[in-house]
Amino acid sequence: MSPAQVSAPGGERVVTRRFALATLANLVFFVAVTAFFSLPVHLEALGASRADIGRVMGVFGLACLLAIPLTGALTDRFGRQRFMFAGALLWVGLALGFSAVDRVGPLVYGLRLGQGVAFSLAFVATNATIVDLAPAGALGRAIAWFGATTLISHAVGPSLGEWVAHELGFRALFLLSAAVAFASLPLYLAVPDVPRSPAELGAVDTGASALLFRRGGVGPVACALGTAVTFGTALNFMPVFVRARGLPSHAPFFVTYVVAAILVRLVAGGLGDRVGHRRVGLVGAAGFALAAVGFGFVRAPWQLIVVSLAFGLAHGLAYPAMNAAFVGAAPARARGRAMALFNLSFNLGVTLSAFVAGEVAERFDYRVMWAVSAAVSLVGALVFLADRPRVSAAGRA
């Protein structure tokens, strides 16, 4: 990474000490979160159906739908750090609570709801911190590089979780997740809030509806929701899908998609800043739809790797571009809420995928499940294409 890459157009550095600490804290916390991607295998062993698995995984998203917008508003008012720390601490206790789960009942649903709240607190507050730290003209690059840590966790967490569950049992996996989340606490404490300027503190608040329904606002949010359906379908059902296809492990999916997405973000993280976030996001969304169709035809390990590569390339392009297109046009005082709205739309898509994909797979088959997710991603891309932002002196959307 050259000096030109780590600096914004105005000469400010993108990667500062505070940025690096926030990024490291996010990586550690997300390893704890993604270790739970093996939970569907445990639920299946407890007698859960595909629809049951979808519901258990989906209540996590339901909690996020309530907690994410609330966290966005609270972080704009009270700062970011306390919410990052609280989310990680809550995750520690909830992960330990899974050691008592011996059937699919109220306890597992309650714990997943709590995990959704914990995730929302840490995720929204950390993302808002990164937006605060991003220099002018480098928001897309900052989001892309920061998001690479989340992607690394998607390779490390599920693979490590699968190995620990297989060799030592799921109770050991839950203890591992709690221990890793605990390790993120001192890192979050080392990331102080970014001081607000007098102009930001005195600015008039921008409501959620004004942020969303401005021209050029609905498009990236709708596209995020659509691509999240494919993303969530893959994350929630890949562990059981590969076994239904007679494949030995879901680790090749997570590792391949993560490596591809990270390479895209490191090499082309600033592409949207140069050619327009909207263009890059649309290409990525189309790639999501194609990858979803491809998963439906996977029968061999090499096919899984090839389609996972396309999936990773699409995610590496789409997510930071859509995010920057929406958040970059928001007033500085409302960035926490803007980030929360974007994350809310993405998590809504992931939540819908858990419930809907599980029912579709149960009633039809996995190929239909993938086809439905591809169609939803395409619809989101079309809305993004149609919702053209106003052209201003600030530059491209």
CATH of the domain at 250: 1.20.1250.20
Q: Does the pLDDT of residue 74 top 60, yes or no? A: yes
Containing structural domain, residue 380:
13-193+206-386
Does residue 279 fall inside a structural domain?
yes
Q: Identify the band that residue 334 occupies on the pLDDT scale cut at 50, 70 and 90.
A: confident
Q: Identify the band that residue 371 occupies on the pLDDT scale cut at 50, 70 and 90.
A: very high
Does residue 8 fall inside a structural domain?
no
The pTM (predicted TM-score) of the whole model is: 0.73
What's the rounded mean pLDDT across residues 124-133? Answer: 89
CB atoms within 10 A of CB 189: 15
Does residue 261 fall inside a structural domain?
yes
Does residue 150 fall inside a structural domain?
yes
Does residue 3 fall inside a structural domain?
no
What's the rounded mean pLDDT across residues 344-371? Answer: 88
* pLDDT confidence of residue 2: 44
Token readout for 182 is 């605990």
What is the tally of structural domains in the chain? 1
Cα gap 144→154, rounded to integer Å: 15
Does residue 396 fall inside a structural domain?
no
Does residue 225 fall inside a structural domain?
yes
Q: What distances in angstroms separate CA 149 from CA 145, 269, 351, one per listed residue?
A: 7, 13, 22
CB 291 within 8 A of CB 307: yes
Q: Identify the band that residue 396 occupies on the pLDDT scale cut at 50, 70 and 90.
A: very low
Q: What distances in angstroms separate CA 325 from CA 60, 134, 147, 186, 214, one per listed residue?
A: 27, 14, 15, 32, 12
* pLDDT confidence of residue 3: 41
Q: What distances in angstroms separate CA 267 from CA 145, 261, 271, one per listed residue?
A: 10, 10, 9
Q: Does the pLDDT of residue 81 top 70, yes or no? A: yes
Interhelix angle 335-352/50-78, nearest 10 degrees: 180
Does residue 7 fall inside a structural domain?
no
Q: What distances in angstroms separate CA 156 from CA 88, 196, 261, one per listed residue?
A: 18, 36, 14
Q: What is the dihedral of CA 81, 85, 86, 89, to 10 degrees?
A: 180
Percent of the chain with pLDDT over 90: 43
Q: Return the DSSP state at 7.
A: B
